[in-house]
Amino acid sequence: MRFCSLLAFCSILLLPASLFAYTTHRTTLGPLTMYFGTNERLAKQEKITKLDEPLTLTATLENKGDTILYLKLVFSTIETLEFETGGAVEGLQRFSTTTIGLIPGSTVDVPIKIIAKPGTYTAHYPVRLDAEFQLDGKPVSAHIIQVVETELPGGATVKNPMLGQTIADAKQLPLNTLPNRGGLALATLDTYRGIWNYDNKPAEILPIGFQGNESISSASINRQSMDRGGVSRQSVGMHPPWRGGVGNVGMEYHIKLPETKPISLSFFSAMRDVQPPEPPSDGVTYRVKVDGKTVYEKHDAKPDWVAHEADLSAFAGKEIVLTLESDPGPRRDTTCDSCYWGDVILFAGNKRSGLTTEMEQKLFAENLQAVKTGKSDAGRTQVFQLDGGLTGAVTFSENGFIDGVIGVGNAEKQVQFDGLRVWVKGQPIGSEPSAISCGAWQTADGSRG
């Protein structure tokens, strides 16, 4: 009985569709009611089967009050789904904003056209409508969500069709689109081309997605998971040219940046271990270029991970060629210069700050008290009464239960779990570094984080 009870409790935690606002199709706040579909039933799940072909969604707004409601409406979505706003000037965007006046007793349908752009996956995408207005003299916001299914032949899951080709113009490389809020994990992409050069010589171009040792210079590029100091990261390993001369090796990506600011490129650097009688490396200069111009560089010889971050906000809204370059440094000594770029994340928007030790301790204390007493007055802790006299408690944090605390027990015995570890396409949810941006969480009773 206790096992079944605990299993049921864990099952509740794994139902984000019902508990965490994945399909909140209807909501009421004061005199405003808004919904996708009908007032009673969620609209059928719409499906997109072709790229660049608009799909129209309709939201319905009702004003049951006796005064006019002035509403700021903001439609939003993610990644490569975009809204067609209708005007040639406005074009396509991932956010669409309008303001309306909703007279008393009226019902209004608000249509919006959504388009799947190249790079869209066969998956489920949320479309969210936020309505901001004044209620009793205070600003408030209500929202609803409609899930759109995409079923595209191939979509972004097709193997890179240009893999292995040698492209002279970097602007002809496959275009990677940085989402409006979120990131690209560059070490997972095969859309780059390799380049290398001897000092004071023109660059030599390697095929798209190249991995291995270049035959003339022995410059090398490899994508791999690398452990340094007990911490494993998705990485790109490089070694500058050393046979026949000294020079640089790098990777070039063709990327479209959004208008969103800030835009940052973060990564961790580390050198390989050396074994006697090998001499130590004098380090590598890690260099970041945009359209051939250096925007960040730092020389380092440490074998454990060292954090770096470059600000690319000045290039917001542009298509760029981004280069990651490994240089042997001012002494031009390539001895044991195998280096690693770990968790290379290009990110648009503000990142959430991690929990402090003090905050973590407070979460665990609140959760423990709820498990012991079977109740909690803290709004971020939910309590579940289980079979066998057990209590389950979930204390939410910045990313809901993912980085919160989950506890089970009674007044005498308790066990607590430090949230959950969740990955999507190799990227962690709710922890850094990650290419995935987490928004606010919401429980069924409407409380949010």
Q: What is the pLDDT of residues 119-135, one digit of tens each?
A: 677 778 888 899 999 99
Do 328 and 427 reside in the same domain of the chain?
Answer: no
Do 314 and 422 reside in the same domain of the chain?
Answer: no
Do 339 and 372 reside in the same domain of the chain?
Answer: no
Tokens of 345: 């994340």
Do 66 and 208 reside in the same domain of the chain?
Answer: no
Do 318 and 344 reside in the same domain of the chain?
Answer: yes
Task: Encode pLDDT of 351-405 as tens digits.
Answer: 776 778 898 999 999 999 999 999 988 778 999 999 889 999 999 887 777 888 9
Could you tell me the pLDDT band of residue 438, with boundaries at 50, 70 and 90?
low
Do 174 and 303 reside in the same domain of the chain?
Answer: yes
User: Lowest mean pLDDT: which of 10-19, 157-166, 296-305?
Assistant: 10-19
Do 266 and 393 reside in the same domain of the chain?
Answer: no
What's the rounded mean pLDDT across residues 52-67?
Answer: 91
Q: How far apart are CA 274 and CA 277, in angstroms?
A: 8
Q: Is residue 80 part of a domain?
A: yes
Do 166 and 305 reside in the same domain of the chain?
Answer: yes
Q: Which of 155, 172, 206 is the last residue of a domain?
A: 155
Q: Is residue 25 part of a domain?
A: no
What's the rounded mean pLDDT across residues 60-86?
Answer: 85
How confident is the model at residue 87, as a pLDDT?
38
Do 359 and 300 reside in the same domain of the chain?
Answer: no
Q: Is residue 412 part of a domain?
A: yes
Q: Is residue 255 part of a domain?
A: yes
Q: What is the CATH number of the domain that holds 104?
A: 2.60.40.10
Do 165 and 142 reside in the same domain of the chain?
Answer: no
Q: What is the Cβ-side half-sphere exposure of residue 313, based on CA atoms within 13 angstroms?
A: 7
Helix, strand or coil, per DSSP, at residue 18:
helix
Q: Is residue 109 part of a domain?
A: yes
Do 168 and 184 reside in the same domain of the chain?
Answer: yes
Q: Is the pLDDT of residue 36 over 80?
A: yes
Q: Which of 348, 369, 386 is the last residue of a domain?
A: 348
Tell me which residue range forms the domain holding 98. 31-155
Highest mean pLDDT among 42-51, 133-142, 395-404: 133-142
How confident is the model at residue 405, as a pLDDT?
93
Do 231 and 332 reside in the same domain of the chain?
Answer: yes
Q: What is the gyration radius of the CA atoms in the chain, in angstroms?
A: 26
Per the listing, tokens 């199709």 go with: 25
Q: Which of 299, 323, 348 is the last residue of a domain?
A: 348
Q: How many structural domains is the chain composed of?
A: 3
Backbone phi, psi, residue 67, to 5°: -130, 160
Tokens of 211: 């991995």
User: Lowest mean pLDDT: which of 58-67, 77-86, 213-222?
Assistant: 77-86
Q: What is the pTM of this model?
A: 0.64
Do residues 325 and 239 touch, judged by C-beta distance below 8 A?
no
Q: Is residue 26 part of a domain?
A: no
Q: How far apart are CA 399 and CA 390, in angstroms?
A: 26
Q: What is the CATH number of the domain that holds 242?
A: 2.60.120.1060
Task: Encode pLDDT of 236-290 as tens digits.
Answer: 999 999 999 999 999 999 999 999 999 999 999 999 998 888 899 999 999 999 9
